[in-house]
């Protein structure tokens, strides 16, 4: 870099930094003043408005409005201050030089948020999400265009692109990166293995990722990409983009992230705050059961489901495959629709052993009295009808109870106390029934599910239906039963809906069945979706139909093809497991993966030597075994030899680095500097585990070791020997 360029850039940075500092001081002063005003007003209000009736009620309410306004202004100024402080640390990371539409040259500095020069109010730093900043992420120079909010395209000429590494007012690096933005910076970032949780990629977003991030909220997006292509990173940047672009109508409370686990949520929880935004609401599919009021069931978790199906017998296998199939999804949707005409099953409602409403009567109300309305409306009409009947009964019972209490031949209390006692008795007696009516529990949703399962006919379906009925009677739900039941519940009753959620991001979408997505759509009727996934990253032993075309027909599908996570050697090894995949590796150079052959007798020694040689304090080093039992056995065997070793189980809620042992399926979505597949034997992983192995090896950023005591699993044995090193300890 020419000395004069460096000096000019340093001078620019010094100047910008001073302006940010000045802005911070002004904001701090203004905030202090606002705070004093608020305190003063509050003191005034509490001393002046002892009596808020008549005239003073009007001034009191005006005062409250003014105070609320002031407090909002205060909050917004505090946010600005936070943003300015973040900018002070890293004022900008990029610059683009353009000839604008009027033919004049312009230099635009790009940073985490917009900053205006305090005196002139000119934009000194452009928010990376501003329309014009999009040009920074294009992979070209020359003519280019960006879209402004009214939809118009503005054409400019890009003449240069520069990247910076800056800390406060110190320039650490300047790079001219005309064509491929971020090439050098990207490589440096990728070489940094010290990061704890996921970091933002704002300075090095690639042009294909940029297009996804900036897609309009009007489109439902499905983003597909191989391991390490930045899907999760893109998802987080996209949320930040939506929060900026639609800031008038959307805030963090309107966005929901559905991810595989709380651990995963913790792993990504730093990204949005790093970008100056609040972390959004998060949930898992499993937790939606509660949202939908189905807590009465004891449901299996996703991880427990994987463990169970790793050992599935034929019947379990068939039931799982059928229940998660597209065919069943379609059948169930049709079946539920057909209930508008006939066969809606009702429970009879009882009160104190007497029939309060028979199933025949409920059916009559549904198909005769309220026929013609949507199903949920009919049910709500029935609810009102039953509530009226209940109210009459309750009143009569209440009168009798009060009379009885009064007639007692000993003192039971004052009139008021008697009324209260009667009310309590009535509430106790009628509470359960009132709740059942309120929640429309008189619809037998479990029966609908079982009938739908048997509907296709034949012994297979009858067996599946009978097995399911037995489990439901015991209030047990297998993971694959959650979606159908949730769907039925939500589709028929429409009781739970969360219209405030305007955008939903679902990561690892390949793990979802069509019915899961359908249930989510019902729960969040106003939401648009960004789904991200990879057909090949499957750790479930039986996931058969993944991202079926019907699943995605309402989505704009975008494919990412480059992989950034792992060294080129690891990506080459990974790709060889699925030769038909064409992942382009943009990782750094590194060592080839190593296959360590050992024996049962030398296994302990091999593992300890490997950890001693390869584990670096402060990095993430994951030892993976196929399932929970194997990990527990591994932990028991090595915890004394390797005192830093930590066992990660499904209960783990916070992400951590260090020397970890965890079930292979739990590693999906995460990345580790070093991955050791600690039980790579053909007896443990068969050719059916090809996709699990593919997923596991793609978790390693720098080093990959495969430890085998007997024979390599077939999918790994097929990899050309040139792609890995072999070591033996026998
Ligand atoms: N444009 C980029 N600049 C810098 N780093 C990037 C970029 N894109 C992706 N990465 C890095 O690549 C790694 C993989 O990213 P991420 O986890 O988002 O990918 P993914 O597609 O979700 O992976 P997987 O499907 O394998 O879980 C992360 O370390 C991320 O920081």
Q: Which residue from 272, 565, 667, 698 has its CB within 8 A of the most atoms of ligand 1, so it is best to mutate?
A: 565
How big is the chain, counted in residues? 730
| CA gap 685, 695 in Å, rounded | 13
Q: Does 183 score more than 80 pLDDT?
A: no
The reply to whether domains 221-293+504-560 and 568-728 share a CATH topology is yes
pLDDT of 193 reads 55
User: pLDDT band at residue 294, thresholds of 50, 70 and 90?
Assistant: confident
When pLDDT is averaged across residues 500-523 and rounded to a whole number, the result is 95
Q: Categorize the per-residue pLDDT at 237 as very low, low, confident or very high, splitting at 50, 70 and 90.
A: very high
3-state SS assignment for residue 702: strand
**What is the per-residue pLDDT for 686?**
93
Tell me the pLDDT band of 628, cut-offs 50, 70 and 90: very high
Closest CA to 565 of 615, 511, 620: 620
The proportion of the chain whose per-residue pLDDT surpasses 90, expressed as a percent, equals: 73
How much is the pLDDT for 60?
Answer: 75
**Mean per-residue pLDDT for 636-651?**
95
- Rounded Cα distance between 511 and 262, Å, is 16
Distance, in Å, from the CA atom of 56 to the CA atom of 62, rounded to the nearest integer, reads 10
| Run of H or E including 317 | helix 314-323
pLDDT above 70 (res 52): no
Q: Residue 18: its pLDDT value, please?
A: 96
Give the bridge partners for 355, in sequence order. Answer: 350
Q: Considering just the CA atoms, what is the radius of gyration of the chain in Å?
A: 31
In sequence order, the 6+-apart residues with CB closer than 8 A to the CB of 600 are 709
Report the distance separating Cα 164 and Cα 175, nearest Å: 6
Q: Which residues line the pocket of ligand 1, CB cutoff 6 A?
A: 186, 189-190, 199, 201, 204-206, 209, 225, 227-233, 534, 537, 564-565, 669, 671, 698
Determine the average pLDDT of the residues in 681-710: 95
Residues 6+ apart with CB under 8 A from 391: none
Query: Is the model's pLDDT at 649 over the cut of 60?
Result: yes
User: Looking at ligand 1, which residue's alpha carbon is closest to its atom 12?
Assistant: 565
Beta-strand relationship, 105-111 and 94-99: antiparallel
pLDDT bucket at 549, cuts 50 / 70 / 90: confident
- For position 43, what pLDDT does the model report? 81
Candidates 190, 197, 230: which one to mutate for ligand 1, based on the most atoms within 8 Å of Cβ? Answer: 230
Closest-lying ligand 1 atom to the alpha carbon of residue 182 = 3
- Say if residue 400's pLDDT is above 60: yes
According to the model, what pLDDT value does residue 195 have?
Answer: 60
pLDDT at residue 465 greater than cutoff 90:
yes
pLDDT at position 182: 53
Enumerate the known binding-site residues for ATP.
225-232
Confidence of residue 50 (pLDDT cuts 50, 70, 90): low
Strand order in the sheet with 503-506: 281-283, 255-258, 503-506, 528-533, 221-224, 556-559
145 forms beta bridges with 155
Residue percentage of the chain with pLDDT more than 70: 95
The mean per-residue pLDDT over the stretch 618-647 comes to 96
- pLDDT band with cut points at 50, 70 and 90 for residue 550: confident
| Whole-number average pLDDT of the chain | 91
Beta carbons within 8 Å of 18's beta carbon, 6+ residues apart: 169
Question: Which residue has the least CA distance to atom 13 on ligand 1?
Answer: 565
Please tell me the distance between residue 564's alpha carbon and the centre of ligand 1 in angstroms: 6
> Which CATH class, in words, describes the domain spanning 568-728?
alpha beta
Residue at token pair 């993971």: 479
Which of 727, 720, 726 lies closest to 573, judged by CA? Answer: 720
Residue range 147-172, pLDDT digits in tens: 888 888 999 999 999 999 999 999 99
Task: Tell me, in angstroms, the distance from the centre of ligand 1 to residue 574's CA.
Answer: 16
Shortest-distance atom of ligand 1 to CA 209: 1
Model confidence at 194: pLDDT above 80: no
Model confidence at 633: pLDDT above 60: yes
Instruction: Answer for the pair 260, 511: CB distance below 8 angstroms, yes or no.
Output: yes
705 alpha carbon – ligand 1 mean position (Å): 21
Assign residue 449 a region: left if phi > 0, alpha if psi is -120 to 50, beta otherwise?
alpha
Domain locations in the chain? 5-88, 94-192, 221-293+504-560, 298-342+446-486, 349-443, 568-728
In the prediction, which pLDDT does 489 show?
95
- Across the range 336-359, mean pLDDT stands at 96
Which residue puts its alpha carbon closest to atom 19 of ligand 1? 230
Q: From the alpha carbon of 699, which atom of ligand 1 is closest?
A: 26
With beta carbons less than 8 A apart as the criterion, state whether 289 and 482 touch: yes
Render pLDDT for 432-441 as a digit per residue (tens, 0 to 9): 999 999 999 9
Is domain 221-293+504-560 in CATH 3.30.930.10, yes or no? no
For the segment 320-343, the average pLDDT, to the nearest whole number, is 96
């Amino acid at each position: 870099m020419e000395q004069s360029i460096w000096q000019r850039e340093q001078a620019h940075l010094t100047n910008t930094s001073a302006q940010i500092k000045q802005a911070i001081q002004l904001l701090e002063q203004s905030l202090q003043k606002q705070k004093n005003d608020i305190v003063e007003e509050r003191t005034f209000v509490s001393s002046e408005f002892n009596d808020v009736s008549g005239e003073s009620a009007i001034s009191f309410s005006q005062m409250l409005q003014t105070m609320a306004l002031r407090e909002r202004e205060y909050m917004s100024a505090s946010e600005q201050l936070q943003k300015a402080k973040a900018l002070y640390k890293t004022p900008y990371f990029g610059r683009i030089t353009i000839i604008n539409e009027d033919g004049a040259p312009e230099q635009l500095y790009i940073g985490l948020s917009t900053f205006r020069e305090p005196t002139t109010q000119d934009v000194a730093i452009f928010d990376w999400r501003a329309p014009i900043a999009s040009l920074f992420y294009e992979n070209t120079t020359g003519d280019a265009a960006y879209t402004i909010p009214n939809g118009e395209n503005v054409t400019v000429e890009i003449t240069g692109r520069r990247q910076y590494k800056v800390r406060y007012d110190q320039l650490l690096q300047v790079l001219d990166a005309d064509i491929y933005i971020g090439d050098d910076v990207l490589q440096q970032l990728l070489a940094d293995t010290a990061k704890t949780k996921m970091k933002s990629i704002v300075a090095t977003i690639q042009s294909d990722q940029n297009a996804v991030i900036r897609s309009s909220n009007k489109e439902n997006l499905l983003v597909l990409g191989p391991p390490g292509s930045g899907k999760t990173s893109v998802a987080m940047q996209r949320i930040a983009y939506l929060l900026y672009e639609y800031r008038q109508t959307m805030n963090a409370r309107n966005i929901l992230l559905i991810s595989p686990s709380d651990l995963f949520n913790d792993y990504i929880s730093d990204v949005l705050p790093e970008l100056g935004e609040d972390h959004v609401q998060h949930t898992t599919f499993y937790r939606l059961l509660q949202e939908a009021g189905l807590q009465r069931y004891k449901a299996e978790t996703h991880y427990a489901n994987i463990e169970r199906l790793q050992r599935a017998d034929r019947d379990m296998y068939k039931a799982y495959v059928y229940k998660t199939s597209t065919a069943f999804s379609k059948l169930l949707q049709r079946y539920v629709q057909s209930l508008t005409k006939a066969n809606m099953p009702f429970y009879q409602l009882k009160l104190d052993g007497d029939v309060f409403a028979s199933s025949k009567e409920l059916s009559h109300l549904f198909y005769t009295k309220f026929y013609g309305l949507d199903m949920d409306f009919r049910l709500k009409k029935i609810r009102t009808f039953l509530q009226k009947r209940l109210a009459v009964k309750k009143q009569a019972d209440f009168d009798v109870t009060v009379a009885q209490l009064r007639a007692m031949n000993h003192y039971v209390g004052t009139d008021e106390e008697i009324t209260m006692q009667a009310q309590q008795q009535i509430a106790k007696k009628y509470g359960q029934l009132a709740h059942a009516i309120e929640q429309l529990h008189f619809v037998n949703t479990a029966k609908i599910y079982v009938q739908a399962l048997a509907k296709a006919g034949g012994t297979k379906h009858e067996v599946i239906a009978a097995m399911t009925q037995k489990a439901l009677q015991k209030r047990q739900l297998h993971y694959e039963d959650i979606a159908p039941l949730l769907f039925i519940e939500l589709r028929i009753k429409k009781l739970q809906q969360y219209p405030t959620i305007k955008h939903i991001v679902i990561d690892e979408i390949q793990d979802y069945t069509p019915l899961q997505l359908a249930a989510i759509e019902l729960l969040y009727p106003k939401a648009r979706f960004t789904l991200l996934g990879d057909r090949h990253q499957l750790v479930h032993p039986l996931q058969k139909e993944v991202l079926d075309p019907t699943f995605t027909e309402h989505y704009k599908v975008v494919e990412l093809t480059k992989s950034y996570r792992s060294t080129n050697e690891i990506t080459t090894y990974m790709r060889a497991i699925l030769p038909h995949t064409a992942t382009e590796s943009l990782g750094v150079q590194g060592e080839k993966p190593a296959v360590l052959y050992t024996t049962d007798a030398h296994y302990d020694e091999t593992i300890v030597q490997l950890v001693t040689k390869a584990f670096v304090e402060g990095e993430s080093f994951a030892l993976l075994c196929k399932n929970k039992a194997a990990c527990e056995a591994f932990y028991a065997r090595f915890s004394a030899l390797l005192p830093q070793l930590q066992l990660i189980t499904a209960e783990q809620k916070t992400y951590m680095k260090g020397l970890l042992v965890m079930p292979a399926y739990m590693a999906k979505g995460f990345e580790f500097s070093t991955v050791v597949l600690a039980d790579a034997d053909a007896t443990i992983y068969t050719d059916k585990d090809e996709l699990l192995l593919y997923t596991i090896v793609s978790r390693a950023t720098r080093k990959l070791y495969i430890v085998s005591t007997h024979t390599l699993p077939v999918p790994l044995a097929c990899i050309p020997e040139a792609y890995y090193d072999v070591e033996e300890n026998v």
